[in-house]
A and B are shown apart, each in its own frame.
Chain A
Amino acid sequence: MRVLRAVGGIFLLAALGCSSSSSRQVQAKAANAIAVAANQAASLLVDQYRKELGKCLAFDTRLEFAMCVGKVNNDWARVRADWADLADLQNQWATALEKGSSEVEVYAQAVLKAYCDIAPDLPPGIALPAVAGVVCGAP
């Protein structure tokens, strides 16, 4: 079943590419796409964070190591806070979907904004995956 679920992701992108006449559905689809991208990005971000921490092991003393780790954590603090906001909104969006709430679109828009808010806070050289249909900074 795990494998069955895994390959499902391949087709999700195709499903998301379909047009819809409903603004509500478009918003929900965009939020879907962000949920996928964010959950894929999570592994990438953790890997990058681990690499940055690993570089601190090159120092010769524990003090230098600790200072390096402190700097890395400082660099990532905003991202972690942004991510917590995104995760919270994603969960609220998911709850709204499950309940058939009229607030689905509101949460979907909030998810879009939260995803876009992460990018400026990422450490240099790190980027989130592009999401089809989502343009950060668009009016």
Chain B
Amino acid sequence: MTRQEIAETLELFSKVAESLGALSPQLMPAMEVAGALLLIGADLEGKGLDSIQHITRAISLDDPMNQAQDDVNKEADKKFGDKN
């Protein structure tokens, strides 16, 4: 698949996606990464590793898990009050 073909296909599907409405905010980071990786895949197929320009970075679990704990702690505060 050439870059031109990828661009044309993505353009087509962007219109489809827009017609379906906004995607889940939780999915967006992962899907953005996937989109960037698509370009890597294209480069791997076409020109080899030397031409790769778009690289993903890993998503951390710490921040969202800490946020989850904070959220649950707030719920606990509501339920149990300040009593220990």
Contacts and interface: CB of A to CB of B under 8 A. Distances in A.
Interface residues of B, number: 55
Interface in B28-84: 28-42, 44-45, 48-50, 52-53, 55-62, 64-65, 68-69, 71-72, 75-76, 79-80, 83-84
Chain A facing B: main interface SS = helix
A11 B18 CA distance: 17
A4 B9 CA distance: 10
Contacts, number: 180
Interface of B: 1, 6, 9-11, 13-14, 16-18, 23, 26-42, 44-45, 48-50, 52-53, 55-62, 64-65, 68-69, 71-72, 75-76, 79-80, 83-84
A10 interface: yes
